[in-house]
Amino acid sequence: MPVTKQNRRNQDLPTINERIRFPEIRVIDADGSQLGIMQPSEARRMAEAKDLDLVLVSDKADPPVCRIIDYGKFKFEQEKKAREAKKKQHTSDVKEVKMRYKIGKSDYQVRVNHAKRFLQAGDKVKATVMFRGREIQHADLAEKLLKQLANDLEELADVNQAPKREGRNMMMLLSPKTKKEGGAKAKKEGSNKPRREKPAKPKLNEAQS
């Protein structure tokens, strides 16, 4: 039988009350207690007596399981759970920040802020230093710049891929730092250890070339 618009609308409707047409169903009351197996018509009368709805919650069981509840509240809770599950299923993307090895201080800070925003959103960051012409001879300065960026983002990011040449560019890959249990405790216990000096930051130009 061809699928019509009316059929599609019927398929989208929730399976509640009169739309429950199984010969027998297992019924759960509003308080969670088991009411046993009965015909849908009997369960509907019980739901109507409480000014509630009879809602199908599992059609895979034998017999199918229905519950006497407020359908409006049930729908709200289901949508809320779906939204929360979607938030937890965030897919990590790779965002890119590009710069030149002669980048100025203000432009560099803009790149840092962009990278922070990406990392806080749960995305990875590909930092790329681009070369023009003979600038490729200054790959060492580009590497220092990327290491500086890693240092400036060390509270938020781990280095997945150390700086390396990629064609006429140099790139580095950062990922959001994973929270470790007891991290604060370990930091406190190790506070008496001598601090490791960070590498000196390369001098940035006041204006981008």
pLDDT at 3 over 90: no
CB 5 within 8 Å of CB 49: no
pLDDT average, residue stretch 56-63: 91
**Does 108 share its domain with 59?**
no
Q: Is residue 118 part of a domain?
A: yes
Domain range for 137: 94-178
pTM: 0.46
**Does 60 share its domain with 103?**
no
Q: Provide the pLDDT for residue 187.
A: 47
SS3 103: coil
CATH number at residue 113: 3.30.110.10
pLDDT tens digits, 84-133: 887 776 667 899 999 998 999 999 999 999 999 999 988 999 999 999 88
Within 10 A of 66 (CB to CB), how many other CB atoms are there?
A: 29
What pLDDT band is residue 202 in, cutting at 50, 70 and 90? Answer: low
How far from the centroid of its chain's Cα atoms is residue 44's Cα? 41
pLDDT tens digits, 23-39: 999 999 999 999 999 99
pLDDT tens digits, 140-149: 999 999 999 9
The count of domains in the chain is 2
Q: Is residue 82 part of a domain?
A: no
pLDDT at 209 over 60: no
Last residue of a domain, one of 35, 54, 70: 70
Q: Provide the pLDDT for residue 106.
A: 94
Please compute, for residue 49, the number of CA atoms within 13 A of its CA located in the half-sphere on the CB side. Answer: 8
CATH number at residue 39: 3.10.20.80
Token pair for 154: 């060390």
pLDDT average, residue stretch 154-164: 93
What pLDDT band is residue 55 in, cutting at 50, 70 and 90? Answer: very high
Token pair for 35: 């009411």
d(CA 25, CA 46): 13
pLDDT at 75 over 50: yes
Q: Is residue 86 part of a domain?
A: no
d(CA 79, CA 72): 11
pLDDT at 6 over 70: no
Q: Provide the pLDDT for residue 188.
A: 47
